[in-house]
Amino acid sequence: MIKPQITSQLQKLETPFYYYDLDLLRQTLSKIKEESERYGIHVHYAVKANANDDILRTIFDFGFGADCVSGNEISKAVQLRLPGSKIAFAGVGKTDKEINTALTNNIFSFNCESLPELEVINELASKMQRVAPVAIRINPNVDPKTHKYITTGLDENKFGINHWDFDKLSRLLKHLPNIKLTGIHFHIGSQITDINVFKELSEKVNTIAAWFEKQGLNLQHINVGGGLGIDYEQPEQNPFSDFTAYFKAFNDHLNLKSGQELHVELGRSVVGQCGHLITKVLYVKEGLKTKFLITDAGMTELIRPMLYQAEHKISNLSSQLALQTYDVVGPICESTDVFAKGIQLPESKRGDLLAIHSAGAYGEAMASGYNLRDMVKAFHSDQLLKHESLF
């Protein structure tokens, strides 16, 4: 998955660091563009997955919009010359400052998640003498069949407006002159690999959209969110998500009106497979029941295994010796700082370079300075292949 000529370059860099294969990212974006344009579907990239500047520039160069969940994400997208008209702003707890940032930049849509939020946006828009375009985020109570910590569309989740508040919503919208309802929005979870889930979502969306139209509430667009997963077990064999089936599911099962736009918000499936966390073995430690490979990267650089019990494939880029069984652990003073247990790797020694794959999404974006650790650098294939100065 990492080209041999790149591996030799990686050996020269101070670890740990993130490495991004921009060629793979461009191939992924090309596939998304081809399949989405087949049906005229608008794609917003979920910036929370990875907000690295080089990643964002590459994505925006393909003409995709942004799905933002903070004011700073909006500012970053605008700074990188993305028009506000391509930005959707989601999030269950938007602050006044963030709402004002969005209003100032004339964004495409506020994805509103509660009745009180609608009232606040109306008030702030009135002060700026603007009308805020709003899509109502709705909780459709669809099980995404994924980890409970990344499920967002069930009745018990904090996200979105539930069906029992629809009548209140309809009445409230009539009294908010600085709100313009433009659409409805959904997002049911993340790392979804069962395409049938999106078919079920489409059926729920059809029912909900029909209710809005019956109330005389015109919907210019429908936003079905993101959530499409990637293959963490075999990233080399499956570097791309099934974008063909994903877009086709909505095209086949959503009942769009003439002229009504369909928007999606892909994140993980865009950037997940192009990123790797590169780390060195500090020590090989004999335990009571296992051997530990203690690395210089930890949960501060990739928290998904510790937070979601996620499994990432790990490769030893320095060794081709016989396989042995190891627990790969980080240096952080937490028992949960474990990347993998009982995995097979070539016999490893101090100084060996390991690659933790499929780290392009929610790796660098969720990094922290816990234990006062340095925030690590990121490098990409274009830099290494051009032999640019990296320091």
DSSP secondary structure letters along 340-365: EEEEEEE---TT-EEEE-S-TTTTGG
Q: Do domains 23-270 and 273-385 have the same CATH topology?
A: no
pTM: 0.93
Q: Which residues contact 237 (CB under 8 A, 6 or more apart)?
A: 231
pLDDT bracket for residue 143 (50, 70, 90):
low
In the predicted structure, residue 348 carries a pLDDT above the cut 70: yes
pLDDT at 147: 42
pLDDT at 146: 47
Which phi and psi angles does 38 have, rounded to 5°? -55, -35
Residue 324 carries which side chain, given as an amino acid letter? Q
Q: Are 370 and 333 in contact (CB under 8 A)?
A: no
pLDDT at 151: 44
Which phi and psi angles does 345 have, rounded to 5°? -140, 155
Which range (10-19, 150-159, 161-170, 261-270) has the least confidence? 150-159
277: helix, strand or coil: strand
pLDDT bracket for residue 165 (50, 70, 90):
confident
pLDDT in tens, 92-112: 999 999 999 999 999 999 999
In the predicted structure, residue 298 carries a pLDDT above the cut 80: yes
pLDDT bracket for residue 224 (50, 70, 90):
very high
How many Cα atoms within 13 Å fall on the side-chain side of residue 188?
24
**Domain 273-385: what homologous superfamily?**
Lyase, Ornithine Decarboxylase; Chain A, domain 1 (2.40.37.10)
Q: Which residues contact 220 (CB under 8 A, 6 or more apart)?
A: 182, 183, 260, 261
Q: Are 253 and 37 in contact (CB under 8 A)?
A: no
Report the alpha-carbon distance of residue 96 to residue 352 in Å, rounded: 49
Task: Say if strands 179-185 and 132-137 run parallel, antiparallel, or are unpaired.
Answer: parallel
In the predicted structure, residue 54 carries a pLDDT above the cut 60: yes
> Across the chain, what does the average pLDDT equal?
93
What percent of the chain is modeled with pLDDT above 90?
A: 86
Q: Are 36 and 57 in contact (CB under 8 A)?
A: no
User: Residue range 105-132: average pLDDT?
Assistant: 97
In the predicted structure, residue 155 carries a pLDDT above the cut 50: no
pLDDT in tens, 252-274: 999 999 999 999 999 999 999 99
Helix (H) or strand (E) holding 243: helix 243-253
Report the alpha-carbon distance of residue 282 to residue 294 in Å, rounded: 6
In the predicted structure, residue 331 carries a pLDDT above the cut 90: yes
pLDDT in tens, 71-91: 999 999 999 999 999 999 999
Rg (CA), the chain: 22
Give the Cβ contact number of residue 315 at 10 Å.
19
Domain boundaries, the chain: 23-270, 273-385
pLDDT at 191: 93
Q: Are 20 and 360 in contact (CB under 8 A)?
A: yes
What distances in angstroms separate CA 222 from CA 131, 161, 212, 245, 292, one per listed residue?
19, 15, 12, 19, 50
**Domain 23-270: what homologous superfamily?**
Alanine racemase (3.20.20.10)
Q: Are 80 and 101 in contact (CB under 8 A)?
A: no
Query: In angstroms, how far is CA 325 from the centroid of its own chain?
Result: 32
Q: Are 254 and 295 in contact (CB under 8 A)?
A: no
354 is written with which tokens?
């390991």
In the predicted structure, residue 380 carries a pLDDT above the cut 80: yes
